[in-house]
Amino acid sequence: MDITIRKHEHCVIGLPRCDFVFSSTRTCFIAYGFDESNLEMSLLRKLLAERGVECVEAGGSLAPGQSAYCAKICSKIITSQFCIVLLNNSEPSDGPQVPSANVNMEYGLMLGFNKYVIPFQRAAQKLPFNVAGLDTIKYGTRDFERLATDAIEQAIVSTTQHNSSAIPVD
């Protein structure tokens, strides 16, 4: 596979173009509900670090004086090598499961940017109707590590660009 460079030129929220380069960092952006996926996130951070991929989370960065949406989410999705989304619903004791609006918005952005996305959801939960038709890895506590390891390794293989020939220095 040859190296290709694709810049983001048309801002989805109407700001001037940002010129971030797609898949330009060895990172993985993870969208998740901050209170719903603590165990999964600790395992994903470990699996990514073992493979030399930096884990990027919107909640883990500060962007003072900048548009938080651009600096913490959109630009990080654009530049990431691949993305993971944990579509786990919140489970209040007194009501129905509720999908995270932020996670689903970030998932839509990933899909709109044609990113390589690994979607996960707990096996006992149901996907929202608008993403129910998309392949999603359903997991339980016993098989999450195996499923995540396999999916991450496949993502790295599928998204790693190789330089097919040396560029002569003039």
Partners of 83 in the β-ladder: 29, 117
93 vs 78: CA distance, rounded Å: 37
Residue 55 confidence (pLDDT) above 70: yes
Which residue would you say has higher pLDDT here, 60 or 19?
A: 19
Which residue would you say has higher pLDDT here, 126 or 92?
A: 126
DSSP string, 122-170: ETTS---TTTTTS--EEE-TTTHHHHHHHHHHHHHHHH----SSPPPP-
Residue 41 confidence (pLDDT) above 60: yes
Question: Which pLDDT value is given to residue 3?
Answer: 59
pLDDT band at 129 (very low <50, low <70, confident <90, very high): confident
Q: In what order do the strands lie in the sheet with 27-31?
A: 54-57, 27-31, 82-86, 117-122, 137-139
Residue 52 confidence (pLDDT) above 70: yes
63 vs 72: CA distance, rounded Å: 7
Which residue would you say has higher pLDDT here, 37 or 146?
A: 146
Question: Average pLDDT in the 28-39 region?
Answer: 88
